A and B are shown apart, each in its own frame.
Chain A
Amino acid sequence: MTQTYEVFLGCAIPNRFNNYEASMRAVAKQLDVKLIDFDGASCCGTVVLKSIDENSWLSMSGRNIALAESRGHDIVTPCNGCFGSLKDTDHVLHDDEKYRKMVNNALKPLGLEYSGKAKIRHFVEVLYDMKDEIRDKIVKPLTGLKIAFHPGCHLIRPSNVAEFDDPELPSKVDEILELTGAKSVPWGLKLACCGSPLLITSEDVATRILTEKMISAKEAGANVLVTNCPACHTQFDVQLIGLKDEKGESIELPAMFVTQILGLAMGLDPESLGTELNRISLDPISEILGI
């Protein structure tokens, strides 16, 4: 049965990582998942607005949820930030009548109302439910690919909000990735934050966090770092460029999106997956990827 969702792209993906959107759409097409454009979406609210003013965050995010609800659709998003923000809002508005009233009061002049009918899912959740279908589509196994998978915080924590995977030992996306014949390697700082939310406050601290993570991924023997979040990917494929460890050695690793890995293993054209837009060179793994 075809699944249908309104796809919530957020701001970061169309701004910086159109390769993520392109590869998500290509994989969705292979799996017969129907993605409808999300008309009228604003920013999800994000941790940025939640930090400034929680009432504004709940209202801005609640408006997006109410829009999908008014059209009778569920929401899917490929962004951890949007996922976390929308799920968190849904959690608060579902549990707390005071905040629900406040938001609905702000939405009333727009003819919208939040009642909690729209489900919010991350694109990798949809993928996890389609493991059998994915397995059948793999035609180009990625043998030799050693993935340091970074789930990103808001996909798994807080677990009572995210409702997706074990917050201390997540494995669902790793299972999806290993369907391609790649290996998801265990690494010490896998669950640690990438540092991205601190770029707005202190690039120095954000970079120290990133450096620690990359040293851990390299020590684990990974040859690629894989994410499902544009904010985390900003650290791994933009901020990381040129960074070195204490000995002056490069700590760069190729960085890719989950959907690019799946698309390549499904035999899709690399150009359609936007691999040319990955900033850190994929040359060290190009033979394994077949690009």
Chain B
Amino acid sequence: MTESWGQFKSFEGKKFDTLDAEFTKEVSKLLGGKDLTACFQCAKCSAGCPVSDKVNIQVHELMRMLLFGLKEVLETDMVWLCTTCYTCQERCPQGIDITDIIFGLKNMAFKKKITPPGYVAARKSLYDSGKLYEPTEWEREDLELDDVPELNVEDTRKVLDKTGLMKLEEGE
């Protein structure tokens, strides 16, 4: 069992109150979610996944939880420990956009504040400066590279205000 992330650590002894068909529908509507219900549990996704041996809940189990409408999936480590390598999506014999579905689950988890703190900090940096990192000037001078062109931060913020990036959390 790994401790790296996620509250949902094992199926053992777990009892689930509801199988929420609405949740499955909601996930099906995500970007990449349209073929979700075609999953027949061949587990090829988990076979090629670089974190299968490092998580408590593997990709094919995550997919099963989605079909069963188990919202607890948002608390599994597989959601935020997906490296986004797209191997599962590339290989799925049913053509399911698995990695894209996991991106959608991350969006859902973020709204519920089930998020590694680094992502909250990254959001602030993207909103405040329009980027994640600043140029290292002395290196650029040594290599005779020109300055990186300036970004009009106000313009980027207008876009991000429209999409509500800083007000994603539910109930706020």
Contacts and interface: CB of A to CB of B under 8 A. Distances in A.
B19 interface: no
A109 B154 CA distance: 12
A273 B26 CA distance: 50
Indicate the member of B81, B110, B162 with the most A CB atoms within 10 Å.
B162
A40 interface: yes
How many interface residues does chain A have, given as a range? 35 or more
Contact of A52 (B83, B145, B146, B168): B168
A48 B85 contact: no
Interface string B77-105: 00011011111011000000101000110
B64 to A, nearest CB: 22
A56 B148 contact: no
Contacts of A272: 143
A268 interface: no
Interface stretch (B9-17, B36-44, B67-75, B118-126): B118-126
B149 A37 contact: yes
A157 B54 CA distance: 22
Interface in B144-172: 144-146, 148-152, 155-156, 158-160, 162-165, 168
Contact of A22 (B4, B85, B145, B151): B145
Given A40-B150, A205-B81, 15 more contacts: A14-B140, A15-B136, A19-B143, A48-B132, A51-B119, A52-B168, A53-B107, A59-B159, A59-B162, A153-B83, A153-B86, A154-B86, A192-B85, A198-B83, A202-B116
Interface of A: 9, 11-12, 14-16, 18-19, 21-22, 25, 37-43, 46-56, 59-60, 63, 92, 99, 105-107, 109-110, 153-154, 157-159, 167-168, 191-193, 195, 197-198, 200-202, 204-205, 208-209, 272, 274, 277
